[in-house]
Amino acid sequence: MHELWNEEQYRTCLTAHRSEGFKHECNAVSSPTQSEARGRKAWLGRRWLDAKSEGRSRKTLSSSQPISRAPDSYIVHRGQGNTFRSSQVKLLLTGIQGSGKSTILKQLRFAYAASLVTSREREEARDLLVDSAMSAAETLRTAGLLLPHELGTAHRTPAWGSADPMNHDNIQYCLENRSRLFLEEHPATNDDFLHAYVKTTGVSETYLESHRLSYRVFDVSGARVERRKWQYPAEDVQCLIFVVSLAEYDVHLGDDSGIRESLAVFESMLNHARWFKSSTIVLLLNKIDVLREKIKEIPVRKFWPEFNGSEDSCDAATNFFAAKFCSLQRPDDYRDKHVYCSDATNIETSKIVLQSIEALLVARVQCSL
C-alpha cells in the first residue's frame, strides 16, 4: 500500500536509525503534473487592487474563521443525515503552521462529504488565489522583472512561469493557472479550493461519515501561541494525525528549521502528553511533491550534515526524515504508529492514503468490540 512504515518497521527503526547502514525503500505517492491553464477576466484583478487600496482585509474561507475556545462555539461541518453509529472515531489533525494539515482536512471533506464543499467556498478560494497571483505580479514588478505596462499583456508569461517571487506553496499553481483564474465564466474548481491558503486560527470541528466509520475531526492551529488550545480536542482521541511538511527542511522558524520544530512538537506529543496514551499515531510526511523538486536545487545535506543518502533521491530524503521522527519513540511505547507520504493537493493519491488510514481505524474499532 502507500504506508511508508508499518508498526514492525517503525519499531525496528529504533535500532536501525543508529546504524550507518539504515536503508528503507519509500512507497512514496507520485504526483501528477499540474492541471493545464485555461482562462478569467481582469476585473477580478482590478477588484483586488481596489480592495488593497481601500485597506480592506482579505477574504477568508468560511471553514477557517477565528473561533473562541468554548467547545460549543467551534466551527462544525456536518455531513448528510448526521446519523452517527457507535463506531465514531475522534481524530485530531495537527502539525506546525504551514504543514498542510488544513489541506488534509479538505481532502477528508472531498472523500467523505463532498457535498459539504460549496460553490461559495470554491469562489472564495479562487479570490484568494487571484490575490496571491496579483501579489506575485507586484513582487515581480518591484524586482524589475515585470514592467508596469506588461501586467496586462502576454509578454509577462515567461517571467511568471520561471520566477518564484513569494515563499508560498500555492504561488506556482496561481501562476500556472492565471489565465483561467481571471476568467469569470470559468467556474472555480476543487483544485482551486485545495490550493487556496488561509492561516488556521483556533479550532475547527468537522463531522464526517463513510460507509464504515463516522468521524469527529478536530483541526487545530499549529502556531506556537495557539498550541495551548490543543488540550480540549486532544482528550480521548482515538487517532492522532501529525502532519509534517517535508518541503521545510531548509525553512527556518526562529532558531529552528520547520522540520526541527516539527520534531520537537512531535516528541512532546508522543512522549509527554497524557492525552495520547492509547491513541493510534499516524505520521503524515506531506508535500513530497515539493520535496522531489526542491532537492534538485537545494541539497538536504546543506542543512542536515548527517544525511548520507543520494542528494537527488526523494526516497532517501524521505526515509532520512522518517527515521528522525521514529527515533523519538520510547522503547516501552507499544502504541500503534504508522508513517505515510502524501501530496495533500493531489486528490486521487490523497484519497488512497486516507483509505489506508481508515483501514487502520476500522481494525481498531473491531478489536474494541
User: Which pLDDT tens digit goes with each residue over 2-47?
Assistant: 455 554 554 444 444 433 333 333 333 333 333 333 333 333 333 3
So what's the pLDDT on residue 232?
Answer: 66
pLDDT value of position 107: 87
Residue 195, annotated ligand binder? yes
**Same domain membership, residue 130 and residue 46:** yes
52 is annotated as contributing to ligand binding: no
CATH number of the domain to which 21 belongs? 3.40.50.300
pLDDT attached to residue 127: 85
Question: For every residue of the chain, which 3-state class applies, written as one string?
Answer: CCEEECHHHHHHHHHHCCCCCCCCCCCCCCCCCCCCCCCECHHHHHHHHHHHHHCCCCCCCHHHCCCCCCHHHCEEECCCCCCCCCCEEEEEEECCCCCCHHHHHHHHHHHHCHHHCCHHHHHHHHHHHHHHHHHHHHHHHHCCCCCHHHCCCHHHHHHHHHCCCCCCCCHHHHHHCHHHHECCCCCCCHHHHHHCCCCCCCEEEEEEECCCCEEEEEEECCCHHHHHHHHHHHCCCCEEEEEEEHHHCCCEECCEEHHHHHHHHHHHHHHCCHHHCCCEEEEEEECHHHHHHHCCCCCHHHCCCCCCCCCCCHHHHHHHHHHHHHCCCCCCCCCCEEEEECCCCCHHHHHHHHHHHHHHHHHHHHHHC
Same domain, yes or no: 137 and 223: no
Specify the pLDDT at position 190: 82
pLDDT band at 194 (very low <50, low <70, confident <90, very high): confident
User: To the nearest whole number, what is the mean pLDDT of the chain?
Assistant: 70
Q: Which residues fall within 8 angstroms of residue 125, CB to CB, at 6 or more apart?
A: 61, 188, 192, 193, 195, 196
The reply, when asked if residue 249 is annotated as ligand binding, is: no
Q: By residue range, what is the domain housing residue 329?
A: 3-32+65-116+201-368
pLDDT tens sequence across 43-88: 333 333 333 333 333 333 333 333 223 333 334 444 444 443 447 8
287-340 pLDDT tens trace: 999 999 999 999 999 999 999 999 989 999 999 999 999 998 887 787 878 999
Choice between 76 and 170, residue whose per-residue pLDDT is larger: 170
141 plus 183 within the same structural domain: yes
Residue 37 domain flag: no
**Grid coordinates 521522527 are at which residue?**
325
Distance of alpha carbon 358 from alpha carbon 338, whole angstroms: 12
Number of domains into which the chain is organized: 2
Name, in order, each residue with C-beta under 8 angstroms of 81's C-beta and a sequence gap of 6 or more: 209
Asked if residue 129 and residue 91 are part of one domain, the reply reads no
Q: Would the pTM of this model clear 0.85, i.e. be above it?
A: no
Residue 292 lies in a domain: yes
Query: Is residue 158 situated within a structural domain?
Result: yes
- 47 occurs within a structural domain: yes
Cα–Cα distance between 164 and 72 in angstroms, integer? 42
Is the pLDDT confidence value at 147 over 60? no
Are 216 and 342 found together in one domain? yes
The per-residue pLDDT for 231 is 66
CA 233 – CA 217 distance, rounded (Å): 9
236 labelled as ligand-binding? Answer: no
pLDDT at 167 over 90: no
Asked whether the predicted pLDDT for residue 240 surpasses 60, the reply is yes
- Residue 354 belongs to a domain: yes
> Are 331 and 251 in the same domain?
yes
Of the three residues 175, 194, 213, the one that is the final residue of a domain is 194
The set of cell numbers assigned to 197 is: 491558503
The reply, when asked if residue 347 is annotated as ligand binding, is no
φ, ψ for residue 90 (rounded to 5)?
-90, 125
196 is in an annotated binding site: yes
Is 140 annotated in a binding site? The answer is no
Residue 212 pLDDT greater than 70, yes or no: yes
Q: Is 286 annotated as a binding residue?
A: yes
Of 149, 171, 194, the position where a domain reaches its end is: 194
Query: Do 158 and 98 share a structural domain?
Result: no
Do residues 100 and 155 both lie within one domain?
A: no
Q: Which of 194, 220, 238 is the C-terminal boundary of a domain?
A: 194
CA 92/CA 218 separation, integer angstroms: 5
Strands 214-220 and 256-257: unpaired
Q: Is residue 163 part of a domain?
A: yes
Identify whether residues 112 and 176 lie together within a single domain.
no
Question: Percent of the chain scored above 70 by pLDDT?
Answer: 62
In terms of domains, do 215 and 351 share one? Answer: yes
Q: Is the per-residue pLDDT at 203 higher than 60? A: yes
Does the annotation flag 198 for ligand binding?
Answer: yes
Residue 272 is assigned to a ligand binding site = no
Q: Per-residue pLDDT tens for 245-257?
A: 999 998 765 555 6
Mean pLDDT in residue range 143-149: 52
344 assigned ligand-binding residue: yes
Least reliable range by pLDDT among 76-80, 139-143, 225-229, 286-290: 76-80
Gap between the Cα atoms of 359 and 115, Å rounded: 23
For residue 162, name the pLDDT band (cuts at 50, 70, 90). Answer: very low
pLDDT at residue 239 greater than cutoff 60: yes
200 carries a ligand binding annotation: yes
Percent of the chain with pLDDT strictly greater than 90: 16
* Co-location of 163 and 291 in the same domain: no
Task: Examine the domain organization and report whether 95 and 76 are in the same domain.
Answer: yes
